Structure 1
Amino acid sequence: MRKPLFLASAGLLSAGLLAVGAHAVFPRASTSVVPPSPIPAPAASPPVKVTREGVSLAFSLALAPRPLEAERGSSLQATSRLTLTDARTGEPLAGRRPLAWMRLRPQGEPAPDEAACRQQVKTYLGGLMSARADVDFNAYWFLTLNHDQTISVINPQIAFDRTKLQHLVSVGGGAADWALLPDRSAVYVTVPVMDTVSVVDTERFLVTRPLRVGRQPGRIALSPDGLTAWVSNDGDGTVSVIDTPSHAVRDPVEVGPGPHAFAFSDSGRIAWVSTREASTLTAVDVTTSEVLGRVDVGAGATGLAWSEVARALFVARPGTREVVVVDTVRREVSRRIPVQGGLDALRFDNTGRWAFLVHKDAGTVDILDAARGQVAHTLTGFSAPDTVVFTDAFAYVRNTTDSRVSLVELKTLEGTGRPAVVQITMGQRPAAEARELGMSDPIAPLPEGNGVIAAGNADRALFLYQEGMMAPRGTHLNYGREPRAVRVLDRSLREVEPGVFTAQGNVRENGTYDVQVLLDNPRVVTCLEWKVGGVPEDASLARTLPLKLTPEFDAKRTYAPGQAVPLRFRLEPTAGNGQAPVAPEEIRVLLFKTPGTWQVRTEPRRVSEGLFEVDFAPPSPGQYKFVVGVEGRGLDLGRLPTSTLGVSQPLATALTAETSP
């Protein structure tokens, strides 16, 4: 996998915190102040190079200027570029899985030797909050769309056994569908009861604005270039188009009564919209939203899919037991393919040749060969399947009345023999036991392409599966929430051309950085040096925490199991930063045992201004952590200093236990 060491190590580690700490936010400037001119990015420096184990590595970092709308104290966005070539031939090393970090070297500290470099990489792989890099080029998260109007942000790289929940985002109402923008800057979430689309900022993990669309927005789809988002307004027969760079909503397009489905043809230049109640498909110019024409396919269309192989549009019409093939150039129906009734999903694999037709009531899946225009296989033995998701090697079909996911091997679809199907059990409870299944994909391919993350709706958990295994390799809890859908937010190094990998990170301090690089094949661990200059001084000052945490309890004392004791602490604004006093409802306190699964999350009591208190009642001897976070002030759990509390039996009790018959 792309990050095998992160995922494999998660089960071996016993300590960590549940939240990656966001950088502290510099005090907001007055709204009456005119925004400063953008600070130009410093000139790019030539790459630094090193050769290890027959591999030549070249690393460079480019800083982007701070945008005009950015707050004072914001970091600069940096794009890393790592080039891997064969040291002997100069050929690019494509298909590798590099990891990279940057650590600001303290003044006066020497450059790390090989042993120190390896130890630093090992520490980063541990996932502990105390070992976070200053710039991490390997970050990725699992996002879940939940039953309770929230999105969970789960960090699988943190070494904490019970939960890896980093953020919880309220989207403002019951969510119907969602879409992640290609630049990974935001998630759009349709909220039918509010007639809006919530824009979730994936840097800060909060809703920045609601976009007013038509009535009862449902499905949402992105154009192939990601510049527009198309929203089905199920309540008024229109479609809203959002320009994603500006988050601006265009005038609605009249298409007929919904619900609607979307597909894109002609290299993404034309959007096709179906209507379940009306009989026509509508072709819309993606750039201008102009209606280009309509095709009569008959009423009851529930799904659309474009096939690059057939250069045609396929329309699901379950009521008439057919798939209609539309010639998008002539804008006419070219063929009608008979299929079984009860068609619940129509989707093509990544090649655009094989269309999977999912029949929930019949418990079957038809596989249509677009190259020949006919059903090539009919598979049975499913338990109320409702959706299908693809990697390059497999189709993943979810069963809703048992906990299996059925994997259909795509390379076995050629020929007339029965395709190979593997059954993988994911979780204990079937999806049908959840409150509602939702309309978004409950399975998401991992970035490396050889596995998936699957939402266990009723189990309230996520299951990590790697192809070739007969069971999930890991489980991530969703903290009591039902995940109706899941996505991967990936900001790690990705290959943009053979042997060239890029990723973005945030830099907020000038100085000399040690760049640690780990390569999987061949195994290479090396450190390079990179000097950063041109970062504004206010970005560095923003590293100063806006709040000061002072424990009023004795962290060195030994606490007794089963006895509740109050833990008092002071939490006050840092001198001179203009912050208001902290309220109890702003504060989250986490107490957890390490190693172990016991944890308590609570809001403290106010004793007096700046002085707070929580009860600590450890259930058993061991080592415990005391962690405080104030998310609203840029201090997620783990940013403020933590305390370690020792718990053991009192000596007299222990001696009594030893001498008892």
Structure 2
Amino acid sequence: MRKRLLVTAAGLLSVGALTAGGLFLSNATRPPAPVAAPLPPITAPPVSVQREGVSLSFDLALAPRPLAAERGSPLQGTARLVLKDVKTGEPLQGRRPLGWLSLRQKDDPPLDDAACKGRVKTYLGGLLSARAEVDLNAYWFLTLNHDHTLSVINPQIAFGRTKLQSLVSVGGAVADWALLPDRSAVYVTVPSNNTVSVVDTERFLALRPVRVGRQPGRVAVAPDGRSAWVSNDGDGTVSVLDTASHTVVATVEAGPGRHEVAFSDEGRTAWLTSEEGDSLLAVDVGTRDVLGRVMIGAGAGAVAWSPVARAIFVAQTRTHEVLVVDPATREVARRISVKPGLEALRFDRTGRWAFLVHKDAGVVDIVDAARSQVAHSLTGFSAPDSVVFTDAFAYVRNTLEGRVSLVELRTLEGTGTPAVIHVTMGQKAPADARELGRSDPIAPLPEGNGVIVAGAADRALYLYQEGMMAPRGTHLNYGREPRAVLVLDRSLREVEPGVYTASGMVRENGTYDVQLLVDNPRAVVCTEWKVGGVPEDAALVKKLPLTLTPEFDLKATFTAGSTVPLRFKLEPTAGTGDLPVQPEEIRVLMFKTPGTWQWRTEPRRTAEGVFEVDFAPPEPGQYKLVVGVESRGIDLGRLPSFTLGVLPSPAATASTEVSR
């Protein structure tokens, strides 16, 4: 689990325990919905506080609700935190602040220092019963599974071992996926249906399938976020989707076989390969016009852009070469001979070092793009198939062993052998899984100093922090094989020196206590922010559109080892006008407190508005029953929860008496 969730009372202000991070969410990369008269954001002057040598300035701007939004929708807010050194006035860069907004009850006083620290400690604990109205630190792990589903794992929830928040079915076997830059949706290609499934990452629901060409494979989102390019490997085309409307706006003839896509010139040009064709296609991203073709022969595989070389690099699998293409002349400027069996080609974040993964040979070649030549050839890998980068390391997956190989990037300079570290990630080799996917099985963490690894055969995720020789955490994937993983992060992130922003949903007007945690210098700060302008119907949603009523005796005790049905009513709240809830919308969670046992299920309907689940406690103790309906804006923990007492079975009690 992320470091910030491990903070204890004694170590609340420890630097090591305050590590956190995130990616700035902005709608600037997506065209706004058409509005007759755009309204300005709902905002107010920032509030400022000084504490522990830190000057903090905070404000929250609320965007007006789009005209197309449903009644009851919350307002999208963008929080902005400015950190400066009190003495010098210089911006505090590279920090990882955390923040929460909690609605203050009427007549309650502002938080004093002790209450402020206590509130922060509570939120860091991740309890369902103690969630802030606006969490500026939310993030999830998404996994692409073997059974046509996406798992949504919330590592911030402090119970159980899987932390599975939601499960999204996409209707067929998946080839690839891509997260939109504004984090609003994930595009998932489903070859068997010739569709792209659009998954809403706000509600974690599959919105609708978008029909594309035959057997869609790769999907790549343009750097500006306005379009997604889908490789239709069955008919030789590439479909271009508009990410604002989720519709196909163009189809490009790219040639037969598998395709790969790369973008150059700050995202203005798309380069399309064709495995069975003989040319590399250059396409204008904005107009979708074909700009030209580069004759490279059949056998083109991976393609990548190097901003250092200002060139396109293409893996030529049949001639065992890497072709360096000049984007201005659209000609092959250089050919680099490499080993057979080139599986992947990818540049590090600087754009200088290209890693060439040779699966059959167990070799990774590293090309220096500044010189267009192989600088290093590394051995000792076990059928490697993919590579992912952080700032410090390249992570190479080995498919025949349960280990990941880390290549230290700073050791690539010079003629010496680069440093390679092999770290065991799980018990089983990835090749023991049903199938290896095309998407990345490793994703960098927001902190920048570690990764999350999909252990497909182990049906688990491994959390690794750089500098360690073993994973520091494991998240089970609820019995599913995760073929790929990505991080959906909505936390505070630095967007300019000393300025940190994050987005969140606001449902109710009033005075909010703002709790902020800064790691360096160490400071816990509370202030307040007054929210106005939120429509009343949004507040009604916060007051729960559904009413949950138990139909079982809350004072009853249950017996370990036996199964009993628990019936409850879940009906639209009077006056909301909502439709009756369906069983497939409902998520039921039961877990033991304390303990690691948990069980998630979908209830069965016995009558309209009446549902039932079977409760089979494995041992004596105290259990919780929690119900959530994400499609109605009700996450787990918002509806009332119920405590269930479980006694030992008579047989177990008798056995204990005899043993005495």
Question: CA offset at residue 222 of structure 1?
Answer: 1.6
- Aligned letter for 2:236? G
- Aligned letter for 1:133? A
- Other-structure match for 1:30: none
Task: Label 1:287 to 1:58 Cα distance change in 2 as closer, same or farther (>3 A).
Answer: same
- Other-structure match for 1:642: 641
- Other-structure match for 2:124: 125
- Aligned letter for 2:124? L
Where does the alignment leave 5 or more consecutive residues of structure 1 unmatched? 13-34
Q: Distance in 2 between matches of 1:569 and 1:338?
A: 68
Q: Distance in 1 between matches of 2:247 and 2:616?
A: 51
Q: Is the 8 A contact 1:40 1:66 kept in 2?
A: no
Task: Label 1:374 to 1:232 Cα distance change in 2 as closer, same or farther (>3 A).
Answer: same
Task: Label 1:220 to 1:654 Cα distance change in 2 as closer, same or farther (>3 A).
Answer: closer
* SS class of match (2:273): strand
Is 1:222 equivalent to 2:221 in the alignment?
Answer: yes
Q: TM-score, normalised by structure 1?
A: 0.92
Question: CA offset at residue 616 of structure 1?
Answer: 2.9
- Aligned letter for 2:340? G
- Aligned letter for 2:571? E
Question: CA offset at residue 90 of structure 1?
Answer: 0.3
- Aligned letter for 1:129? L
Is 1:577 equivalent to 2:568 in the alignment?
Answer: no
- Aligned letter for 2:84? T
Task: Label 1:423 to 1:650 Cα distance change in 2 as closer, same or farther (>3 A).
Answer: closer
Q: Which string of whole-angstrom CA distances, capped at 9 and with x for unpartnered residues, describes residues 591-648 of structure 1? A: 2212223233344455555444444332222111112234444434322211112223
- Aligned letter for 2:549? T
Question: CA offset at residue 312 of structure 1?
Answer: 1.1
* SS class of match (1:541): helix
- Aligned letter for 1:597? T
Q: Which string of whole-angstrom CA distances, capped at 9 and with x for unpartnered residues, describes residues 154-173 of structure 1? A: 11111122221111111122
- Other-structure match for 1:316: 315
- Other-structure match for 1:543: 542
Where does the alignment leave 5 or more consecutive residues of structure 2 unmatched? 12-33
Q: Distance in 2 between matches of 1:228 and 1:651?
A: 64
Q: Is the 8 A contact 1:61 1:80 kept in 2?
A: yes
Question: CA offset at residue 298 of structure 1?
Answer: 1.8
Q: How does 1:548-567 map to 2 (within 5 A)?
A: 548-567=547-566
Q: Distance in 2 between matches of 1:640 and 1:164?
A: 18
Question: CA offset at residue 131 of structure 1?
Answer: 0.4
- Other-structure match for 1:274: 273
Task: Label 1:178 to 1:444 Cα distance change in 2 as closer, same or farther (>3 A).
Answer: same
Task: Label 1:363 to 1:629 Cα distance change in 2 as closer, same or farther (>3 A).
Answer: same
Question: CA offset at residue 212 of structure 1?
Answer: 2.0
Q: Distance in 2 between matches of 1:611 and 1:114?
A: 46
* SS class of match (1:242): strand
* SS class of match (1:122): helix
- Other-structure match for 1:167: 166
- Other-structure match for 2:147: 148
Question: CA offset at residue 129 of structure 1?
Answer: 0.9
Task: Label 1:253 to 1:162 Cα distance change in 2 as closer, same or farther (>3 A).
Answer: same
Q: Distance in 2 between matches of 1:578 and 1:316?
A: 58
Q: Distance in 1 between matches of 2:230 and 2:606?
A: 50
- Aligned letter for 1:290? D
Q: Is the 8 A contact 2:203 2:630 kept in 1?
A: no
Task: Label 1:52 to 1:404 Cα distance change in 2 as closer, same or farther (>3 A).
Answer: same
Task: Label 1:622 to 1:41 Cα distance change in 2 as closer, same or farther (>3 A).
Answer: farther
- Aligned letter for 1:320? T
- Aligned letter for 2:521? P
- Other-structure match for 1:531: 530
Q: Is the 8 A contact 1:195 1:214 kept in 2?
A: yes
Q: Is the 8 A contact 1:7 1:156 kept in 2?
A: no
- Other-structure match for 1:464: 463
- Other-structure match for 1:85: 84
Q: Distance in 1 between matches of 2:118 and 2:354?
A: 49
Question: CA offset at residue 181 of structure 1?
Answer: 0.8
Greater shift, 650-659 or 361-370, is seen at 650-659
Task: Label 1:128 to 1:262 Cα distance change in 2 as closer, same or farther (>3 A).
Answer: same
Q: Which string of whole-angstrom CA distances, capped at 9 and with x for unpartnered residues, describes residues 475-528 of structure 1? A: 111111111111111111110001100000011111100000001111111101
Q: How does 1:494-509 map to 2 (within 5 A)?
A: 494-509=493-508
- Other-structure match for 1:358: 357
Q: Which string of whole-angstrom CA distances, capped at 9 and with x for unpartnered residues, describes residues 302-355 of structure 1? A: 111111111111111122111111111111111111110000001111111111
- Other-structure match for 1:189: 188
Question: CA offset at residue 655 of structure 1?
Answer: 9.1
Task: Label 1:564 to 1:196 Cα distance change in 2 as closer, same or farther (>3 A).
Answer: closer
* SS class of match (1:232): strand
Q: Which string of whole-angstrom CA distances, capped at 9 and with x for unpartnered residues, describes residues 60-98 of structure 1? A: 011101001100111111100000000010000000000
Question: CA offset at residue 261 of structure 1?
Answer: 1.2
Task: Label 1:582 to 1:260 Cα distance change in 2 as closer, same or farther (>3 A).
Answer: closer
Q: Distance in 1 between matches of 2:405 and 2:323?
A: 27
Task: Label 1:375 to 1:554 Cα distance change in 2 as closer, same or farther (>3 A).
Answer: same
Runs of 4+ in 1 over 6 A off after TM superposition: 35-39, 650-653
- Other-structure match for 1:434: 433
Q: Aligned pair count?
A: 636
CA-atom RMSD, angstroms? 2.3
- Other-structure match for 2:212: 213
* SS class of match (1:193): helix
Task: Label 1:36 to 1:541 Cα distance change in 2 as closer, same or farther (>3 A).
Answer: farther
Task: Label 1:105 to 1:346 Cα distance change in 2 as closer, same or farther (>3 A).
Answer: same
Q: Is the 8 A contact 1:41 1:63 kept in 2?
A: no
